[in-house]
Amino acid sequence: MVIFLAVVVWILAAFIAFMMMTQMQKNKSKDGDLHSISGLDPSVLELIKNVINAEVTTAAQSAMQQTNEGTQQFFKANTETLTEQTKNLLNPMETELASLKEVITNLQTAHTSTSGQVNNLNQQLTDLNSSTNRMVGALQSPVSRGKWGENSLRNIIELAGMSPYADFTTQTSGQVDGKVGIPDVVIRLPNDSSLAIDAKAPGSAYEQMVGSESPDEQNRLLEAHIAAMKQHIKTLAGRAYWNQFENSPEFVVMFVPLESMLSDALRAAPTLLEEAMKDKVILASPMNLLAVLKATFHGWQVFHIQKEAKTVGDLAQTLYRRIDTMLGHVAKAGRGLESANKAHNEMIGSLEKMVLPTMRELNELNIVSEPPKELEITQTPIRPLNVPELNEVQEDDIED
């Protein structure tokens, strides 16, 4: 565009110079004045000025129009390119925003649907916390702890399968040297012996230890728990439950209702189990006691099987003897039937030889109106009882 304007201006300048030289030559031929160009005709100068202004204006307008068109085309192309690039950049973002909107919608729906469940769960947790606090408060009482231990013991006995056989009895008392002892449970063993179980293991110090947050306080309470268990072991050893029942094993089972209550004590005092064994006290956690009762249940099963097998054997011997006696009666009945058959045949023979001939003679004399009926004799042999054992018994009877 700049080159075009320069060309236009150069053409105008050349045209002006040409017009000036032409006018100067005219003036020279007329006046001979060569000093300046002031002798130019004002109309010519005005014409030149107007021509130059018109050409410059036209060139400028044309240049500005072309510049505007080029600028518009440039900005239009750049705008389209920028729009396309921006669209390409924003399309993935639009997709992600749509996905995010869907996720947010789903989360809002899920929150709405689960808010009620969360409220119910919070209420249940609150109720459970209250129940737990009440239970902890109740278990702080020695009587309540004893009842809880007895219930735990009964549940383990039922889980071991001893209940259907009624092989346990709660609160059974016995006497030793005039003193009455009442173990919590007495398990009857298959050999007519009994096993005493105590469920009143001390646990107050251990419960306080579990609720404490101070390590020093926990260690102190654990030592107190071990001391209480040792004292209870001595108490059970002094009661000597094994002397209260006949054929009882010389030990008593001390049931500890929590696995951790026993394991923590044994971890801190490894000799506790050996000391209890010396005092004829067996420390049993729920799992250990369950294993012992399962073994006892299996022993009862074997005992019942053996007992029933003996009963079946006795019944078989009795049945054999009774069948043998019945076979003797059958053989005797057969011999009686054979004798009756022989007597019957002899009676028929006598009838044919002695009675019927006389009746025929009477018929011939027309004393009776009908002749005597003929007898139809059917001889069915008696089937003997083919029992070799019976023959041996009969021979033994004959020899005797």
Domain of 9, in residue numbers: 1-65
More confident residue, 364 or 231: 231
Of 38, 65, 92, which closes a domain? Answer: 65
Assigned domain for 170 exists: yes
More confident residue, 124 or 389: 124
Assigned domain for 148 exists: yes
Q: Does 166 lie in the same domain as 43?
A: no
In this model, does residue 95 exceed pLDDT 60? yes
The type of residue at 343 is A
Phi, psi dihedral angles at 279 (to 5 degrees): -90, 10
Q: Can you tell me the mean pLDDT for 324-331?
A: 84
More confident residue, 175 or 91: 91
Q: Does 382 lie in the same domain as 249?
A: no
Q: Can you tell me the mean pLDDT for 251-260?
A: 88
Residue 229 is predicted with a pLDDT of 92
Assigned domain for 326 exists: no
3-state SS of the chain is: CHHHHHHHHHHHHHHHHHHHHHHHHHHHHHCCCCCCHHHCCHHHHHHHHHHHHHHHHHHHHHHHHHHHHHHHHHHHHHHHHHHHHHHHHHHHHHHHHHHHHHHHHHHHHHHHHHHHHHHHHHHHHHHHHHHHHHHHHHHCCHHHHHHHHHHHHHHHHHHCCCHHHCCEEECCCEEECCEEECCCEEEECCCCCEEEEECCCCCHHHHHHHHCCCHHHHHHHHHHHHHHHHHHHHHHHHHCHHHCCCCCCCCEEEECCCHHHHHHHHHHCCCHHHHHHHCCEEEECHHHHHHHHHHHHHHHHHHHHHHHHHHHHHHHHHHHHHHHHHHHHHHHHHHHHHHHHHHHHHHHHHHHHHHHHHHHHHHHCCCCCCCCCCCCCCCCCCCCCCCHHHHHHHHHHHHC
**Both tokens assigned to 380:** 């069915």
Instruction: Give the highest mean pLDDT range of 21-25, 108-112, 314-318, 342-346.
Output: 314-318
Residue 234 is predicted with a pLDDT of 92
More confident residue, 260 or 360: 260
In this model, does residue 30 exceed pLDDT 70? no
Q: Do the beta carbons of residue 204 and residue 140 sit within 8 Å?
A: yes
In this model, does residue 89 exceed pLDDT 60? yes
Assigned domain for 180 exists: yes
Residue 35 is predicted with a pLDDT of 42
Q: Does 280 lie in the same domain as 163?
A: yes
In this model, does residue 231 exceed pLDDT 90? yes
Q: Does 280 lie in the same domain as 147?
A: yes
Beta-carbon contacts of residue 201 (< 8 Å; ≥ 6 apart):
149, 229, 232, 254, 255, 256, 257, 261
Assigned domain for 122 exists: no
In this model, does residue 272 exceed pLDDT 50? yes
Assigned domain for 129 exists: no
Residue 202 is predicted with a pLDDT of 87
**Both tokens assigned to 340:** 């009756």
Q: Do the beta carbons of residue 239 and residue 176 sit within 8 Å?
A: yes
d(CA 358, CA 368): 12
Q: Does 280 lie in the same domain as 149?
A: yes
Of 37, 65, 93, which closes a domain? Answer: 65
Residue 246 is predicted with a pLDDT of 74
In this model, does residue 174 exceed pLDDT 50? no
Q: Does 341 lie in the same domain as 228?
A: no
Q: How many domains is the chain partitioned into structurally?
A: 3
In this model, does residue 196 exceed pLDDT 80? yes
Q: Does 270 lie in the same domain as 194?
A: yes
Phi, psi dihedral angles at 197 (to 5 degrees): -130, 130
Q: Does 256 lie in the same domain as 186?
A: yes
More confident residue, 61 or 314: 314
CA 299 to chain centre: 31
More confident residue, 160 or 375: 160
366-380 pLDDT tens trace: 776 676 666 666 566
Residue 175's DSSP bridge partners are 180
In this model, does residue 56 exceed pLDDT 70? no
Assigned domain for 234 exists: yes
**Both tokens assigned to 114:** 């689960």
Residue 166 is predicted with a pLDDT of 43
Assigned domain for 40 exists: yes
Q: Which residue from 2, 50, 44 is spatially nearest to 22, judged by alpha carbons?
A: 44
Q: Can you tell me the mean pLDDT for 115-144?
A: 65
Q: Does 272 lie in the same domain as 175?
A: yes
Angle (nearest 5°) at CA 58 between 56 and 64: 100
From 58-62, 251-255, 280-284, the region with the lowest mean pLDDT:
58-62
In this model, does residue 387 exceed pLDDT 90? no
Q: Does 266 lie in the same domain as 194?
A: yes
**Both tokens assigned to 82:** 């920028």
In this model, does residue 227 exceed pLDDT 90? yes
Of 65, 93, 111, which closes a domain? Answer: 65
Residue 68 is predicted with a pLDDT of 73
Q: Does 349 lie in the same domain as 233?
A: no
d(CA 187, CA 198): 11
Residue 142 is predicted with a pLDDT of 56
Q: Can you tell me the mean pLDDT for 55-81?
A: 72
164-173 pLDDT tens trace: 654 455 544 4
d(CA 249, CA 165): 21
Mean pLDDT of the chain: 75
Q: Does 252 lie in the same domain as 149?
A: yes
More confident residue, 57 or 143: 57
Q: Can you tell me the mean pLDDT for 338-360?
A: 83
Residue 220 is predicted with a pLDDT of 92
From 114-118, 256-260, 354-358, the region with the lowest mean pLDDT:
114-118
d(CA 77, CA 344): 144
